[in-house]
A and B are shown apart, each in its own frame.
Chain A
Amino acid sequence: MSQLSVLDSRDLPELLVALQRYGYRVVGPTRRDGAIVYDELVSAADLPIGWTDEQEAGHYRLKRREDDAVFAYAVGPHSWKRFLHPSPLILWRARRTAVGVSIETPTEELPRLALFGVRSCDLHAIAVLDRVLRGGPFVDPYYAERRSRVFVVAINCGHFSPSTCFCVSMGTGPKATFGFDLALTEVLEPGRHAFVVEVGTEEGAEVLRQVPHRTAEPWERAAAEHVVKRTAARMGRRLETAGLKEALYANLEHPRWDDVAQRCLTCGNCTMVCPTCFCFTVEDRTDLTGTVTERVRRLDVCFTTEFTYTAGKPLRQSARSRYRQWLTHKLGSWGDQFGVSGCVGCGRCITWCPVGIDMTEEAAAIRSPSEPGERTR
Chain B
Amino acid sequence: MREPSSAPPPGANPYIPVPFRVSGRRRETADTVTLRLRSPTGDSLPFKPGQFMMLYVFGVGEVPISVSGRPRRADILEHTVRAVGPVTRRLAALRRGDWVGVRGPFGQGWPLALAEGFDVLLVAGGLGLAPLRSALLQILAQRDRYRRVTVLYGARSPADLLYRLDLTRWQQRPDLELRVTVDRADERWRGQIGVVPALIAQVERQFEPTRTVALVCGPEVMMRFTVRELQKRGVPDDLIYLSLERNMKCALGLCGHCQFGPAFICKDGPVMPFSRLAPFSEIREL
A residues in contact (CB < 8 Å) with B: 91-92, 94, 96, 100-101, 103, 105, 132-133, 136-141, 249, 252-253, 278-284, 286, 290, 293, 295, 300, 302, 307-312, 315-318, 320-321, 325, 329, 332-333, 336-337, 377
Contact = CB atoms under 8 A, between A and B. Distances in A.
B16 A105 contact: yes
Interface stretch (B44-52, B189-197, B246-254): B246-254
Contacts of B13: 92, 105, 141
Given A309-B247, A337-B1, A92 B254 contact: no
Contact of A284 (B7, B15, B60, B256): B60
Contacts of B16: 92, 103, 105
Given A100-B99, A132-B254, A139-B8, 5 more contacts: A138-B8, A252-B286, A280-B249, A280-B256, A333-B262
B246 A333 contact: no
Contacts of B267: 136-138
17 contacts: A96-B58, A100-B99, A101-B99, A101-B101, A133-B254, A138-B254, A280-B255, A282-B62, A282-B249, A283-B61, A284-B62, A300-B249, A310-B247, A321-B284, A329-B259, A332-B262, A333-B262
Contact of B252 (A138, A316, A333): A138
B283 interface: yes
B40 interface: yes
B262 A316 contact: no
A136 B254 contact: yes
A105 B15 CA distance: 10
B71 to A, nearest CB: 21
A137 B8 contact: yes
A325 B259 contact: yes
B42 interface: no
Contacts of A317: 285
Contacts of B19: 100-101
Contacts of B252: 136, 138, 140
Contacts of B285: 315-318, 320-321
A137 B246 CA distance: 20
Contacts of A320: 285
A308 B257 contact: yes
A150 B101 CA distance: 34
A92 B259 contact: no
A312 B262 contact: no
A140 B254 contact: yes
Given A138-B8, A279-B255, A312 B59 contact: no
B259 A311 contact: no
B3 interface: yes
Contacts of A136: 252-254, 267
Contacts of B282: 377
Nearest to B247: A310
A320 B286 CA distance: 10
Contact of B247 (A295, A307, A333): A307
Contacts of B84: 311-312
B166 to A, nearest CB: 23
B255 A252 contact: no
A365 B19 CA distance: 52
B14 interface: yes
A98 to B, nearest CB: 12
A105 B14 CA distance: 12
B85 interface: yes
Contacts of B284: 321
Interface in B215-273: 245-247, 249-250, 252-257, 259, 261-262, 264, 267
- Kindly name the residue among A252, A290, A300, A332 whose own CB sees the greatest number of chain B CB atoms within 10 A: A252
A281 B15 contact: no
Nearest to A321: B285
